[in-house]
Amino acid sequence: MAYISKADKDAKAVELRALAKQYGIKATVARKHCYTIVLNIHGGKIDFYGALKEVDSNYSKTYIQVNPYWVDDQFNKGVAHEFLTKALEIMNRGNYDNSDIMTDYHDRGFYVDINIGQWNKAYALAA
């Protein structure tokens, strides 16, 4: 059963805050429902919206939910891609996925979410 402890989240949060500071990003780290670690990016110097490979009606200029499995397909190579890749590496450290779709067997360490902006508050791009 998927689970991430508060201590594990706190340890990852220290590294994620240092990474965010290095890239000039304002972000918070949370734990949702005891089985998901969430990185909420509120503002900073990186233009995530401009780094998207394809912009369609599914994307809002205020809020992007990053697909942790498809960062390479979702974002162009550059600073945004580099930051997200490093953040996912930190967040997934100690995680595992022994699931087998063929036998409908589900065994996962924990889940990872990255949100850029929020549904009610846009990502603040710094000048």
**CA–CA gap between residue 123 and residue 118 (Å, rounded):** 7
Torsion over CA: 53, 63, 126, 112 (sign): negative
Q: Domain ranges for the chain, please list them.
A: 6-121
Specify the pLDDT at position 59.
Answer: 61
Pairing between strand 36-44 and 124-125?
parallel
At 20-48, the pLDDT tens digits run 999 999 999 999 999 999 999 999 999 99
pLDDT of residue 60: 62
Residues in the chain predicted with pLDDT less than 50, given as ranges, are: none
**Dihedral, 12, 13, 14, 18 alpha carbons, nearest 10:** 110
Instruction: Report if pTM > 0.85.
Output: yes
